[in-house]
C-alpha cells in the first residue's frame, strides 16, 4: 500500500499518531537531506527537522490532499527552514523538552545523518577507483544533473550517445566494484 493511502486510512480511523509516524519515517530522510543542504548547519537542520515533524504531526488531520503528501511535507520543511532563518536572532540557549514528534524526528535525523556519512564514505571510495575522465562524467551527469547534450558539450568531441554509453558501462563497473567491496546488500 502506498504511503498516502496508509496515512489517509490511519487518519480516517483516528490514528493520527500512527499516520504521522508512518509519514515521518518515510519522508524524514529526504527532508533531513533537504534541510542540511539549505541550512548548511547540523544544529539548524536538527531544529528545523524537529519543527517539521511537529508541524506534520499537528497538521496531518487537516491535510486536504490538494497536493501530494510528499509535496505538502516538503512545503512544511521549506517553511520550517525559512522560519528558523527568520528567527535566528531569537535562538534559545537551551533546548525545550522533546515531545513524541520531536523525539521521533531526532531518531530519524540522527540515523539519517549516520547513514548519509557511511554512504558518502563508500561513494568516495568507489570514485577514487575511477579515472579523471570517469569521475568527470559522473560529476557532470549526477552531481550537476546535466543533460546528455550538455555532458557531450563539456566533454567535446564526445557526442551525447557515446557519453550515455560510457555512463552505462561506468554504472556497471561501479556496481561490480560495490558488490566486490560488500557495499550492496
pLDDT by 10s per residue, the chain, length 185: 699 899 999 999 999 999 999 999 999 998 888 888 788 788 888 999 999 999 999 999 998 888 789 888 888 988 898 898 888 655 544 444 457 777 777 777 777 767 777 877 888 888 888 877 787 788 778 877 788 988 888 787 889 999 999 999 999 999 999 999 888 86
Hey, where are the domains in the chain?
Answer: 3-114, 129-180
Give the per-residue pLDDT at 1: 64
Distance CA(171)–CA(32), nearest Å, equals 27
pTM: 0.52
Question: d(Cα 106, Cα 21) in Å, to the nearest integer?
Answer: 13
On whether the 3-114 domain is CATH 1.10.10, my answer is: no
Angle at which helix 16-39 crosses helix 69-86, to 10 degrees, equals 50
Q: Let me know how many helices (H) and strands (E) the chain has, helices first.
A: 8, 0
Q: 20 with 60: CB under 8 angstroms?
A: yes
What is the C-alpha separation between 114 and 118, in angstroms, rounded? Answer: 6
Amino acid at each position: 500500500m502506498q504511503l498516502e493511502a496508509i496515512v489517509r486510512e490511519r487518519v480516517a480511523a483516528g490514528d493520527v499518531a500512527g499516520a504521522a509516524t508512518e509519514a515521518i519515517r518515510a519522508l524524514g530522510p529526504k527532508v533531513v537531506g533537504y534541510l542540511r543542504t539549505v541550512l548548511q548547519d547540523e544544529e539548524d537542520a536538527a531544529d528545523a527537522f524537529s519543527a517539521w515533524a511537529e508541524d506534520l504531526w499537528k497538521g496531518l488531520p487537516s491535510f486536504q490532499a490538494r497536493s501530494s503528501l510528499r509535496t505538502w511535507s516538503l512545503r512544511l520543511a521549506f517553511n520550517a527552514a525559512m522560519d528558523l532563518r527568520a528567527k535566528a536572532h531569537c535562538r534559545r540557549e537551551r533546548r525545550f523538552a522533546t515531545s513524541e514528534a520531536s523525539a521521533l524526528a531526532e531518531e530519524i535525523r540522527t540515523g539519517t545523518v549516520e547513514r548519509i556519512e557511511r554512504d558518502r564514505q563508500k561513494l568516495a571510495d568507489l570514485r577514487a577507483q575511477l579515472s579523471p575522465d570517469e569521475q568527470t562524467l559522473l560529476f557532470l551527469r549526477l552531481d550537476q544533473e546535466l543533460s546528455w547534450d550538455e555532458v557531450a558539450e563539456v566533454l567535446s568531441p564526445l557526442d551525447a550517445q557515446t557519453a550515455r554509453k560510457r555512463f552505462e558501462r561506468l554504472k556497471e563497473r561501479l556496481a561490480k566494484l560495490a558488490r566486490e567491496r560488500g557495499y550492496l546488500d
